[in-house]
Structure 1
Amino acid sequence: MARFWVYRLKSEDQLVVDLQSDFLQDLPSRVVAPLHPIEQVSWTIAPLTPRFVIGDRTYVLATHRLSALPLSALGPAIADLSPRADEITAATDFLFQGF
């Protein structure tokens, strides 16, 4: 598992972004936030819910809905968002610090 990579969950057609430090890769779980297709999102707050194009669809990162999942719940990696790490980190900072 790698931080800022997008994974498809094994149990459902849901994408998540791994937010957990790679330093903690030996833990049996990962902290993730879901990605929702933009057309399914009724509201966004720019610093909290950044947008990403994956394949041919635009997704919103629901940072405020983060959770810990067991490694066994994560399916294949489908995209690398690490080039946008600063934006994702800013979203988690906004969630926890308000700025």
Structure 2
Amino acid sequence: MKTAVDVLRHGDMTVPEYMIWLQKADFTNCPKVTFIYGSDETLYACAPSLEKVMQKYGVAYELIVGDGMFHCYPAFPVVKEAKEGWDKMVDLIKGA
């Protein structure tokens, strides 16, 4: 069975670490970042380490957590609980 890292590398060991682990990237001069997680998704476990990196580089960020929601929940506006997340994504795209 392949690990997540194996899948991300596609067999290419020259893929830089920051492309595998976002927490290892250089965020110098990065504009504001918005993280949207569902509290019940696996990737939510990355939130503390990503917050730490944003703070290290002085990046303005917003962390939004949909309580009891799943991965990519804002992309499902037909689910009434996801509507708020959908509206937030639309506003971000519009630059509101």
Q: Which has the larger radius of gyration?
A: 2
**TM-score (norm. length: structure 1):** 0.27
Give the structure with the higher percent helix. 2
